[in-house]
Amino acid sequence: MKRFHRGLGAAAAALGLLILTACGGAGGGTSDSPGTVTLSLLIDNQETTIAQAKAVVDAFQKAEPAIRIDTETRPQGTEGDNIVKTRLSTGDMADVFWYNSGSLLQALNPSQTMIDLTGDPVLKDVQDSFLPVVTQGGKVYGVPVGTAGGGGILYNRKIYADLGLQVPKNWAEFIANDDKIKAAGLVPVISTFKESWTSQLFVLGDFHNVQNAVPGFAQDYTANKVKFAGTPAATAGFNKLAEVHGKGYLNEGFGSMTLDQGLKLLVDGKGAHYPVLTFVLPPMLADHPQAATDIGFFGIPGENATRPGATIWEPGAAYGARTTEHPAEVKKFLAFIASPAGTQALTAATAPTGPYRVKGATLPPDAIQVAKDLQTLIDSGATAPALEFLSPVKGPSLEQITVAVGSGLTPPAEGAAQYDKDVDKQAKQLGLAGW
């Protein structure tokens, strides 16, 4: 799934320099005063990350004045990934570092490079459902940083109110809503295949339903014991993608429409449903403030009306390097990050676009509606991490396959089989057992 990172401009770079100066910089060069311990923190250089780190560090240092945090930044993307891997492998990692949760953790050899937090009080405020994405070999290594996001359906609440519709609990109810929306002369399902990654949501966002039907799918999928094409629950996402096209629910020009155009169609009340990630909505708020309240969220509906829920994209995590000389202080910092006080600091820095994965953390009253909707789903236990957080296996051609299926060019069963072949190549490149 595409990651939503914006490059730093000159202003952001200046902000980063100010932050690093205020926090002592990388390798600070400052000597601790008596009784003071200095920890180093490595983060990526995204503007939002820098602002969040500064807020958390400032709040932590007020609570723990005997612990100083020196912050340094790294690039994003592949270059940043390689820096993290190299520094861990050479024993030159910062005391604490922020990095992805989920499948990318596997490449970091955490049992040899990170502090084991299993059963530690550091985790007392971390929601249990987050732990699998920072766990390897039965050991827990990280705590959540930032908010979760949902992968499912953004919907126009005004359209729903005007037409007397209810949030669907299963796929049949979703289709019934679409029929009523189409009869009212509106677009039932917005698709924006110009940006092909958006075509994947009916498949990737359906994983909550897959996990409900086949609880061991992620593990068996990683071990090459199950396939999408041979698992009806997994093929269902391709079927849904094909069905909304076949029933004529899509907007005109869906093959050339962009993400921004699709969001405007939704916010303007000309389209009712948009299968996409919740992370994409906040940029609309400056010019379309009504999106904060008019747009809601629900997960991709499954077949079972008694188990509706949603697939979530988990936040990144903070980890402690095993090479640190100050493990007790590192754990204090990690515990603060994953506490209600830590999330309050994050909220003060950047408005949350989803719920925190910390017990007792609350969204501000003015949080956007999609964040509140996702919080309700998480609180009720009706969520599952996206497959990419549970398995390193994801083929590079999925978005091209889903564009073809969603455009009526490829039958859904064939699309699922094509993806199995795509995955096979990638899994072998990773050297996974069983492939």
For residue 422, the domain's CATH number is 3.40.190.10
Q: Is 201 contained in some domain?
A: yes
Examine the domain organization and report whether 281 and 358 are in the same domain: no
Residue 143 sits in the same domain as residue 193: no
Contact 313, 151 (CB under 8 A): yes
> 135 and 225: one domain?
no
Residues 141 and 228 in one domain: no
Domain interval for residue 360: 10-148+314-370
pLDDT in tens, 216-267: 999 999 999 999 999 999 999 999 999 999 999 999 999 999 999 999 999 9
Q: What are phi and psi of 95, to 5 degrees?
A: -60, -40
pLDDT at 7 over 80: no
Instruction: Identify whether 386 is part of a domain.
Output: no
What is the pLDDT, as a whole number, of residue 33?
A: 62
Q: Are residues 258 and 364 in the same domain?
A: no
284 belongs to a structural domain: yes
The CA distance from 419 to 80, in Å, is 29
Residue 4 falls inside a structural domain: no
> By CB neighbour count within 10 A (0-12 exposed, 13-18 middle, 19+ buried), where does 166 fall?
exposed
Q: pLDDT for 310-346, tens place per residue? A: 999 999 999 999 999 999 999 999 999 999 999 999 9
Compute how many other C-beta atoms are within 10 angstroms of the C-beta atom of residue 44: 24
3-state class of 151 per DSSP?
strand
Domains of the chain: total: 2
User: Do 214 and 298 belong to one domain?
Assistant: yes
Tell me: do 181 and 252 sit in the same domain.
Answer: yes
What's the pLDDT tens digit per position in 73-132?
999 888 999 999 999 999 999 999 999 998 888 779 999 999 999 999 999 999 998 999
Both 203 and 258 in one domain: the answer is yes
Which residues lie across from 139 on neighbouring strands?
Answer: 136
Same domain, yes or no: 22 and 125? yes
Rg over CA atoms, the chain: 22
CA 217 to CA 236: how far, in whole Å?
14
Task: Provide the phi-psi class of 253: left if phi over 0, else alpha when psi is between -120 and 50, else beta.
Answer: left
CA distance linking residue 47 with residue 13, whole number of Å:
8
Query: Which percentage of the chain shows pLDDT scores above 70?
Result: 92
Q: How buried is residue 431: exposed, middle or buried, by Cβ count under 10 Å (0-12/13-18/19+)?
A: exposed
Helices (H), 64-122: 77-89, 110-113
Residue 13, exposed/middle/buried by CB under 10 A (0-12, 13-18, 19+)?
middle
